[in-house]
Structure 1
Amino acid sequence: MLRRLHSAPGLVAGLIVAFMAITGSVLSVQPVMDHFAVRSTTVAMNVAALANAVSTHLTGVERIVHAASGAVTAYYDGGKGVAAALIDPATGAVLGDYSPSPIFVFFTELHRSLFLGMNGRFASGMSALALAVLAVGGMLLLVKRLGGWRKIFVTVKGTISQRLHVELARIAIVGLLVSSLTGGYMSLTSFGVIASTSPVGQFPASVDGGTPALISSLSALQAVPLADLRELVFPYAGDPTDVFTLTTASGQGYVDQATGALLNFTPKSVGQSIYETLYMLHTGQGLWWFGALLGLAALCVPVLAVTGTSIWWLRRRNQIKVANNAGARHADTVILVGSEGNSTWGFAQVLHRALVNQGHQVHTGAMNDLATAYPAARHLLVLAATYGDGSAPTSANRFLSRMARFKPHPNLSFAVLGFGDRSFSHYCRFAQVSAAALAEKGMDQILPMATVDRQSPQAFAQWGQDLGGKLGNALALEHVPTFPPTISLSLASRTDFGMEVQAPTVVMRFTLPKREISHWWEHLAFGKTMSFQPGDLVGILPPGSPVPRFYSLASASGDGELEICVRKQTGGLCSEFLHNLQPGERIQAFVKANPDFRPRKGISPIVLIGAGTGIAPLVGFVRHNDRHRPLHLYFGGRDPASDFLYAPILGEAIADNRLAGLVTAFSRIVGGGYVQDRIREDGAAIRDLVSSGAQIMVCGGDKWPRALSKASIWRWPP
C-alpha cells in the first residue's frame, strides 16, 4: 500500500510537479538578488523621517513600500501615470527608477496559476499536495527499507538510479516538505478556505482637519522604526480630512496628518501572522538564504522524477510471468514468493518449471496471496526474501496477518528458503519469522530452513537437490540471473606470475572500446565508454556457459583500460579460459557496480588487507590516491621472486606518498610467521588508526589467513 501510494502520485503528477519545482527554483533566485542589491545600513531611520525625505525628493508621493528584502520603493505621480523609484533606506534619497523584472513577473504567474486563472491555481495547489504525499511516502519507504529511523543515513545499496534517488531525496526531503506544505497552505488561502488577512480597521469617523503638519513631526510616524514598516499610504493631496494609512509588522491604523495621532489601530490577526510566516518560508522573501536552499531542493525534483520513473519501469519490466500455473485449489504443490525487486521470482520460476517437468500440478503466487486453505496441496514451498534490515518485502508484507485465517489440512507440509545478504545484521530474518509462523500451524517441515546468500545459484541448486531427495524427484535447479548486455573487450597485454610456486596468476589489461551512441537514453545509461571504479566487478562469460564469473577491478574507466588479476583454478572454466587468452583475443563482459567496497570519502587513514589476487582492487585504490591520504597495505603471497603482484607499482606509490606503508608476507620463504600474526603485532598501531577514523578493507578468499601459513614478513620501507 505504501509503495503504491508513493508511486501513483509520482507517475500521474510527476510532470507537473517537476515543472512547478523548476519554476519555483527560478523564483528562488529573486530574494537572493534582492538581498545583494539592497544597500545595507545601520542607521535607525524612523518612518516620519523617511516619508519626509521622500516627499522632498519626489512630488505627488502616493505610497511607500518596505519589502521583506529591505528594499524601499516609493510610488508617485510621474505625470503620465504612477511611477516608482528605489529609495535609499539610510537617507530617503532617490536611487533610480524601479520596475519589476519581467522575467520574475512571468515565472511568478506561471508558478502560481500556469496563466490559467483560478483553474491554474487549483492545479498548482494539487501539485503541492502530490509533492507532499511523495515526500512523506518516500521517507516512510526509506525508513522501512533501512530498518528504522536510526538508520536513516546509512549507505543504500541498489542500482545507480536507486542510489541516486535515495541520496537526493535525503538531501532535499526537508526543503520539499516545507515547499509543498507552505504552498498548499497558500493555495487554500487563495480560495478563501483559510483566512490570510486581518480585518480592516474602520476609517476614522472624525479627524482634526487642520493644517497638515510637517511629516517629520508626526508623532505616530516617529514612533515606528523603518524595520517595522510594511506600507505607508499618503493622504489625498489637498484634502485635510484625509489620513495616512500605516501598515506595520504588528497591524494597521490611521495617522492624522495635522496632529500626528494614531487612530483606530487594528492588531494583526493570528491568521495573517501565520500566512506571512509561511509566505516567507515558501518564497524566501526576507529569508534569502533559506529561499536559496529551497531552490536547490526543488532542482532535485526533476531528477527524482526521472530516477523514480526508471525504478518503476525496471520493476514492471522485471516482473516474471509463470507459465503453466495451476489453480491454487487444484495444485498439489504451492510456491509462495516474497520479493522486493522481483529477483526472487526468477528462482521461483526455475523451481516451478522443474516441478512441472516432474509431473506436479504447481501453483506459484505471492506470499500476500496466501489462501485460507489449499485442498489438494501436499507441499507448500515458501521462497522469502528479506527487505532492508529484517522487514517483509513488498509481495509478502501482508503474509503474517493472513496467517491468522490460514487453515492447513493435516497432510500439508512446508519448506522455507530464505534469500538475503549476509552483510545485513538480520540476515534472512523475515524468512525465519515466516518459517516459525508456519510451524505454529502444526505442519511438518519437509526440510529445515535454508538460505541463499546474495542470490547464489550454487546454494539454490543444493537446496533443490535436498528438496528433490525428500519429494522423491530429481530436481536440477539451474538459475541463471538476468545480466546487463555484454561488451566485447580485446586483451591489450598480460603479465604472468606464480608459475614457479604452482600458483599461476595473470594480470590482464583490456582495451576499452568507444561505444557508439544512437539514442539519448543510451548516453544517459552507458556514456561513451563503460564506466567503473576500482573495486567494482566485471562479469565475464566464459565460452559454453551462460553464468558469468566476477572479478574485482584494479582500474577505473578513466585509466583507459579494464584491469583484473586472475589466478588459475584447476578445472575452473573461466580462469582457464582467461589464462589461455592471448593479446588481441576478446572476451564478452559487463560491469557491475560494487558501491559497498569503496574507500569512504575524506582523508582518514585506510588499512588495506589483501591475499593473492585480492590485492587487485586495493592497488586500484592506491593508484588513485591523489590526495595522499594514509594508506597502509598488508599483502600475502608465496614467493617475492615469483608472485609479488604489482611490486613496481607499489614501489612507485611508496616513493610518491600514495602508499604510507607496506607489509608483505610470503609463505614459501624461510623465516616463518603469518600475516595475521604481523597484524596482531601491529595491533596497537592499527587500533590507533581505527580510533582516528581509519577504515579497514579486506579483499581475498574468505579463508585467506589459513592459506598464508609459515609467512615471512617483508616491510616496505625496510
Structure 2
Amino acid sequence: MIRAFHRWPGLLALALVTVLSLSGAALSVFPAAERIAAPKTEDGLTVAALAGRVQAVYPGVEQIRRSPSGRITVYWFDQGAPGAAVIDPATGEGVASADPNRAERWLTKLHRSLFLGDGGRMAMAAGAAAMLVLSLSGAALVARRAGGWRHWFAPLRGLFAGRLHVEIARIAVIGLVLSSATALWMAASTFDLLPDGGAAPAAPAEVSGETGFAPDRMPTLRETPVALLRELSFPYPGDATDVFTIKTDRGTGYLDQGDGSLLAWGDLTGWERVSETIYMLHTGQGAAMLGLVLGLMALGVPALGATGVLVWLSGRRGRPRIRGNQPAGRAETILLVGSEGGSTWGFAATLHAALTKAGQSVHVGPMSGFAPLRYGNARRIILLAATYGDGAAPASAKGFLERLNVPGPAPDIPLAVLGFGDRGFPAYCAFARDVAAAAQAKGWRALLPLDTVDRQSPQDFARWGRALGDALGIALELSHQPVLPVFDRLTLVSRRDYGAEVQAPTCVLRFALPRVPVWQRLCGAGFARFQAGDLIGILPEGSAVPRLYSLASGRRDGFIEIVVKKHPGGLCSGQLTALEPGDTVAAFLRRNPGFRPGRGRAPLILIGAGTGIGPLAGLVRGNARGRPVHLFFGMRHPDSDFFYGEDFPGWQDEGRLTRMVTAVSRGARPHYVQDALRGDASQVAELVRDGARVMVCGGREMAAGVADALADILAPVGLTPAVLKAEGRYVEDVY
C-alpha cells in the first residue's frame, strides 16, 4: 500500500514537482545574495537616527522598509514623482536600485503560479501536496528497506539506481517535508483558507492635531533598534489627522506626528509569529543559510525522479506481473515474498494463479511490508523466503524478523513457511529457518511444517503445493515454469589452460563486454556495472537452471573473466571448458554485494584455493590505489595450477599486491592454505587487530579450515571470526 502510495503520485506529478523544486532551489540563492550585498548597519543604530538621516536626504520620504536580510529600502515622492532606492543606513543615501531582480521576479512567478494566475497557484499547491506525500511515504519505505528507523543509514544492496535513490532520499527527505509542508501552508493562506489571526491596534480616536515633530526626537523610535524594524510609514503631508505607523518584530504601533507620543500598540499574536516563521522557513528570508540548505536538498528531486523511474522500470522487468492481486484487507490468503534476485517472485506468481483458480482471494506483497493489523479477512499467511549470503534476510524481507519479534501475541492466523535455497551452500534456507523458529517461539500456529525448495526445483515446489492443497482441502497442482533473467550473448576472446597434468583441467576464460543499452547504463543494470566478486549466470544447453560463477574482473577492466574447473559429468563446466575464441554463451549478471572489499585504506587479507582465486585476483588487479593486500593462495602444484601465476609478479611491482603466500597440497610436504595462515599467525593477527578485512573464496571445506585456523590465530588478541563477521570484516564466497 505504501509503495503504491509513493509510486503513483511520483509518476503522475514528476514534471510538476521537478519544476517546483528546481525553481525553489534557484530562488533560495537570492536571500543569501541579498544578505551579502546589503549595506551593513552599525551596532546600536536606532530607528530615530535612521529616520533623521533619511529625511535629510529625501525630504518627501513616505516609507522606510527593512527586509529580513537587513537591506533597507526607502520610498519617497519628489514633486509628485515617486522614487525608491536601497540606502546606506550610515548616510541615508541611495546606493542601489530598489527595482526587483528580473530573474528573481521571473522565477518567483514560475514557482508560485507557472504564470497562470490562480489556476497555476492551485496546480503548484497540488505539486507541493504530491511532494509531501512522496516525502512521507518515501521515508517509510526507506525505513522498511533499511530494517527499521534505527537503521536509517544502514548499508544497502541492489541496483545502483535503487541505492542512489535511497541515499539521496535519506539526506533530502527532511528538507523536502519542510519545504512542501510550508508551501501548502502559504498556499492555504493565499486562498484565505486560514484564519487571519492578526491583532493590529485600533486606529487612534484622538490625535494632537499638530504636525512637524521630528522623527529623530520621538521616544519610541529612539528606543527601537533598527535590527527590529520592519516598516516605518510617514503621515501624509498636510494631513494633521494622519499618524506615523511603525511595525517591528514585536508588534505594530501608531505615533502622533505632533508630539511623538505612542497612541496605540499591538503585540504580534502567536498565530502571526507562526505564520512568519513558516514564511521564513519556506523562502529563506531571514534565514539565508537554512534557505540554501533547503535549496540544495530540493536539487535532489530531479535525481530522485529519474532514479525512481528507473527503479520502477527495473521492478516491472524483474517481477512477474500478478494479475488479480487483491488488497491485503480483503484477501483470504496473504502471500509474502522474501527475494533477493527476483526468482522467488515467479514462484509467488504461480502460487497466486493456482489459488485464485481454486476460488481463493490472494494478496501478494513483500515480507518487508508485513502488517498483521491490515489482514482483517485473512485465513492464512504463507511466506516464500529466500536467503541472502550467510543466512541474512533478502532485500524484500528487510525488517521482517524485527516486526515479528515486537512484544505482543502472534497473529491468530495459521502460518506456512517455504524456504528457497541451494543445498550446496552451508546456510541452506537459513533465513526461512530463522523465520520459522521465531514464529514458533512466539506461539504462531503452523498451517504446514517448514519446507524447502532446492535450486528452484519445480518438482519440490509441486510437492509442497500438494501438501498445501491437502491442508486447505482443495486440489492444488503447481506447475511452475522458471522465469529466466534476460540473457546477453558473450563472445570468448581468449583462454588460458591449467591443470591437465593433475587431471583437473581448468580455464581462465575471458569474454568481450556485450553491448549495453542506454537504460541499463542509466540504472546500472545488466553488465553496465559490475565488480570482481559479482556473479555471472551461465545457462548451459539442455538445462533450464543457470550455473553461477564468481567474476574475476570488474567493468573497468574492459572484459568479463571467470575461472572454470571441468567437473566429471558437469554439464555447464564441460561446455565452458570446450569453448574456443569466437564461441558465444548466454549469460546474465547477478550482483554479490556481500562480497566486497569495502572502502578505505584498511588492509585486505585475501584467502582462496583453487578456482576461488578468480575474484581475489580480480580484486588485486583492480587495486590501482595501492591498498595493502596480503594474498594467501592454496593450489595443488605450481607447475600445473598456479592460476594467474604470470600476472602476480607484475601486480606486485605495480603496488597492487603487497605480499603473496602460497600453499602447495600435492608436494612432498602437503601444505594447505590454512597451514599457510598458521605459519604467518603473528602478522595475520596484527593485521586483523589493526582493522584488516578478511575475504575468503573457495570450497566449503577450505573455508571451514580457514575459519578454524583464524579462530586459533585471533584468540590471543581477543577476536573471533564470528566477531569479525558481525563487524562486517569477514566475508565469504563459498561454494
Q: Distance in 2 between matches of 1:525 and 1:234?
A: 62
- The answer to which of 683-692 and 431-440 deviates more is 431-440
Q: Which residue of 2 aligns with 1:273?
A: 273
Check 1:568–1:5 CA distance in 2 against 1; reply closer, same or farther (3 A cut). Answer: same
* 1:578/1:249 CA distance change after superposition, 3 Å: same
| Paired-residue identity, % | 41
Residues 86 and 96, structure 2, Cα contact 8 Å, conserved in 1: yes
Contact 1:420 1:427 (8 Å CA) reproduced? no
Q: Deviations over 1:265-299 (max 9, x none)?
A: 21111111111112111122222222222122222
For 1:470-509, what aligned pairs fall within 5 Å after superposition?
A: 480-484=482-486, 486-509=487-510
Q: Which amino acid aligns with 1:482?
A: L
Secondary structure, in 3 states, of the residue corresponding to 2:400?
A: coil
Q: What are the equivalent positions in structure 2 for 1:453-602 lying under 5 Å apart? A: 456-458=455-457, 461-462=459-460, 480-484=482-486, 486-515=487-516, 521=519, 524=522, 530-602=528-600
User: TM-score, normalized by length of structure 1?
Assistant: 0.79
Alignment of structure 1 residues 426-437 onto 2, 5 Å = 427=432, 429-430=434-435
**Cα deviations by residue, 1:63-121 (Å, 9 ceiling, x for unpaired):** 22222222222223367853332223454442222321222222222322333444433
User: Does 77-86 or 152-161 show the bigger shift?
Assistant: 77-86
Q: Which residue of 1 aligns with 2:445?
A: 440
CA drift at 1:682: 5.5
State the Cα distance separating 1:522 from its structure 2 match. 6.5
What does residue range 142-291 of structure 1 map to in structure 2 within 5 Å? Answer: 142-195=142-195, 198-208=198-208, 210=210, 212-239=212-239, 242-257=242-257, 259-291=259-291
Question: 1:457 is paired with a residue of what secondary structure?
Answer: coil
Residue type matched to 1:71 in 2? R
Deviations 1:643-684 (A, max 9, x none): 333345433343343334333333234445543344456566
Counting matched residue pairs gives 670
Cα 1:469–1:176 change in 2 (3 A) is closer
C-alpha displacement of 1:260: 4.0
User: How large is the RMSD of aligned CA atoms in angstroms?
Assistant: 4.4
Tell me how far apart the structure 1 counterparts of residues 542 and 521 of structure 2 sit (CA, whole Å). 31
- Asked whether the equivalents of residues 417 and 449 of structure 1 are also in contact (C-alpha less than 8 Å), the reply is yes
The residue type equivalent to 1:34 in the other structure is E
Corresponding residue for 1:329?
A: none
Q: Take 1:470 and 1:211, find their aligned partners in 2: how far apart are those partners? A: 96
User: Does the CA-based 8 Å contact 1:143-1:149 persist in structure 2?
Assistant: yes
Separation in structure 1 between the aligned mates of residue 201 and residue 169 of structure 2, nearest angstrom: 46
1:449 corresponds to = 450
| Distance change in 2, residues 1:440/1:470 (3 Å) | closer
1:335 and 1:352 in contact (8 A); partners too? no
| Structure 2 partner of 1:24 | 24
1:664-709 deviation digits (Å, cap 9, x = unpaired): 3332344455433444565665565555554333333333236889
Distance 1:312 1:529 in 2: 19
Structure-to-structure mapping, 1:674-685, within 5 angstroms: 674-679=672-677
Alpha-carbon distance in structure 1 between the residues aligned to 2:400 and 2:379 = 25
The answer to whether the Cα contact below 8 Å between 1:20 and 1:127 also exists between their aligned partners in 2 is yes
TM-score (structure 2 length as normaliser): 0.78
CA distance in 1 between counterparts of 2:352 and 2:271 reads 63
- Structure 2 residue aligned with 1:397: none
Query: In 1, distance between residues paired with 2:590 and 2:411?
Result: 38
The equivalent residue for 2:703 is: 705
> CA deviation digits over 1:109-142, x for unaligned, max 9?
2322333444433333333333222222222233
Q: What is the CA-CA distance between 1:178 and the residue it aligns to?
A: 0.9
**Superposed CA offset, 1:388-443 (max 9, x none):** 3452999xxxxx99855x8xxxxxxx9641348969995555555678999837x6
Residues 605 and 631, structure 1, Cα contact 8 Å, conserved in 2: yes
Distance of aligned partners of 1:595 and 1:688 in 2 relative to their CA distance in 1, 3 Å threshold: same
Match of 1:633 among 631, 634, 657: 631
Cα offset for 1:166?
1.9
Partner deviation per Cα, 1:170-220 (whole Å, 9 max, x = no partner): 121111111122222222322334346632222334445556354444332
Alpha-carbon separation, structure 2, partners of 1:211 and 1:372 = 83
Q: Distance in 1 between matches of 2:161 and 2:75?
A: 52
* Cα drift, residue 337 of structure 1: 3.6
Amino acid corresponding to residue 658 of structure 1 in structure 2: R
Deviation at 1:39, TM superposition (A): 4.7
Q: Is 2:622 the counterpart of 1:604?
A: no
Q: 5+ residue gaps in structure 1? A: 326-333, 375-379, 395-399, 407-413, 712-718
- The alignment status of 1:292 with 2:292, answered yes or no, reads yes
Unmatched 5+ stretches in structure 2: 326-331, 366-374, 387-392, 404-408, 710-735
Letter in 2 for 1:665: A
Equivalent-residue separation in structure 2 for 1:702 and 1:625 (angstroms):
27
* Partners of 2:520 and 2:528 within 8 A in 1: no
Contact 2:629 2:656 in 1 (8 A): yes
What is aligned with 1:56? 56
The structure-2 alpha-carbon separation of the partners of 1:370 and 1:28, relative to structure 1 and needing over 3 Å to count, comes to closer
Structure 2 CA distance for aligned equivalents of residues 105 and 697 of structure 1: 58
CA contact (8 A) 2:468 2:476 kept: no
Instruction: Please state whether the residue corresponding to 2:64 is helix, strand or coil.
Output: strand
In the superposition, relative to structure 1, how do residues 703 and 238 fare at CA in structure 2: closer, same or farther (>3 Å)? Answer: farther
Q: Distance in 2 between matches of 1:288 and 1:564?
A: 55
Q: Could you tell which deviates more after superposition, 25-34 or 416-425?
A: 416-425
Q: For residues 224 and 376 of structure 2, what CA distance do their matches in structure 1 show? A: 72
* Preserved contact between residue 511 and residue 561 of structure 1 (Cα < 8 Å): yes
State the partner residue of 2:97. Answer: 97
Matches within 5 A, 1:371-450: 383=384, 387-389=396-398, 391=400, 404=413, 416-419=417-420, 427=432, 429-430=434-435, 440=445, 445=448, 448-450=449-451
SS of 2:86's partner is strand
Task: Determine the structure 1 residue equivalent to 2:642.
Answer: 644
Report the CA distance shift for 1:418/1:246 in structure 2 as closer, same or farther (over 3 A): same
**How many angstroms does 1:246 deviate by?**
1.5
